Amino acid sequence: DFLFFWGAVFLVTTTLVAFLKKENQELIPAKEETKGITDTYRLLFSIIKMPAVLTFCLLILTSKVGFSAADAVTGLKLVEEGVPKEHLALLAVPMVPLQIILPLVISKYTAGPQPLNTFYKAMPYRLLLGLEFTFLVWWAPKVKHEGGFPVYYYAVVVLSYALHQITLYSMYVAIMAFNAKVSDPLIGGTYMTLLNTVSNLGGNWPSTVALWLVDPLTVKECAGAQGHTCATAAATEV
């Protein structure tokens, strides 16, 4: 019902925009460097070949490797340790106002001549929060009781998630501000799309690798089955 309602709202509003919004013909269109899809891709390759852009792409493609396991696996491990999925979902609700306010606050610090300074300053704190998430997973079975988990455990989880959101948005807003600052206005859309795509890819591929490595790197012990390591899925099933 939720998806159906917002899907309908999305279709209605975008249709109204398509039919009711008119372009302002009085404005002189800006000069465009590209006229078609072929020109656009030629331009993209010429941008990528620039030494500064190539270095920056390598930076943002590898900058999030240190956070990948904490970001992708923490929630799954907490569920594995017995934290109900619906409780974790509810913990995301207090994060919504924070996610709305944070970009407004952080943008004041990224509006200057060096927006990436905020990115660099937030990185060590986000790495430390990865250790905090590890502690949360280790602590979960220690405080678990028959009725579930105590309130103070959830309070610590919410606080940890809130601090994580602050570091995450500090890095995200800083990268967006830098991309907007260095993009050539004549080809701003193409330039921004390229840098933002690389930035998104830099966050997604480490998470995928981290999820793929969870099982091979997890140490398991088989209770009452000597000679079995439970290292493989088949052995665990047996």
Task: Dump pLDDT digits (tens) for 172-213.
Answer: 999 999 988 888 877 767 888 888 999 999 999 999 999 999
Please tell me which residue, 219 or 58, carries the higher pLDDT value.
58
Tell me the mean pLDDT in the region 75-89: 90
Q: Are 70 and 133 in contact (CB under 8 A)?
A: yes
Averaged pLDDT of the chain: 87
Q: Please determine, for residue 25, whether its predicted confidence score (pLDDT) is greater than 90.
A: no
**How far is CA 52 from each of CA 47, 49, 106, 169, rounded to the nearest angstrom?**
9, 9, 26, 24
Q: Are 172 and 109 in contact (CB under 8 A)?
A: no
Name the percent of the chain lying above pLDDT 90: 50
Q: Please determine, for residue 227, whether its predicted confidence score (pLDDT) is greater than 60.
A: yes
Tell me the mean pLDDT in the region 101-127: 90
Residue-level pLDDT at 17: 93
Tell me the mean pLDDT in the region 87-110: 89
Q: Please determine, for residue 137, whether its predicted confidence score (pLDDT) is greater than 80.
A: yes
Residue-level pLDDT at 208: 94
Q: Please determine, for residue 9, whether its predicted confidence score (pLDDT) is greater than 80.
A: yes
Instruction: Please write down the long-range contacts of 231-237, taking CB distance under 8 Å and 24 or more positions apart.
Output: none
Residue 34's pLDDT band (cuts 50, 70, 90): low
Is residue 11 within a helix (H) or strand (E), and if so which, with residue range? helix 2-20
In the chain the first and final C-alpha atoms are separated, in Å, by: 41
CB atoms within 10 A of CB 187: 18
Distance CA 145, CA 10 (A): 44
Tell me the mean pLDDT in the region 58-67: 92
Residue-level pLDDT at 29: 53
Residue-level pLDDT at 122: 93
Residue-level pLDDT at 118: 92
Please tell me which residue, 233 or 60, carries the higher pLDDT value.
60
Residue-level pLDDT at 33: 55
Distance CA 226, CA 238 (A): 12
Distance CA 79, CA 214 (A): 14
Instruction: Please write down the long-range contacts of 161-164, taking CB distance under 8 Å and 24 or more positions apart.
Output: 161/91, 161/92, 161/95, 162/94, 162/95, 162/98, 163/125, 163/129, 163/132, 164/126, 164/129, 164/133
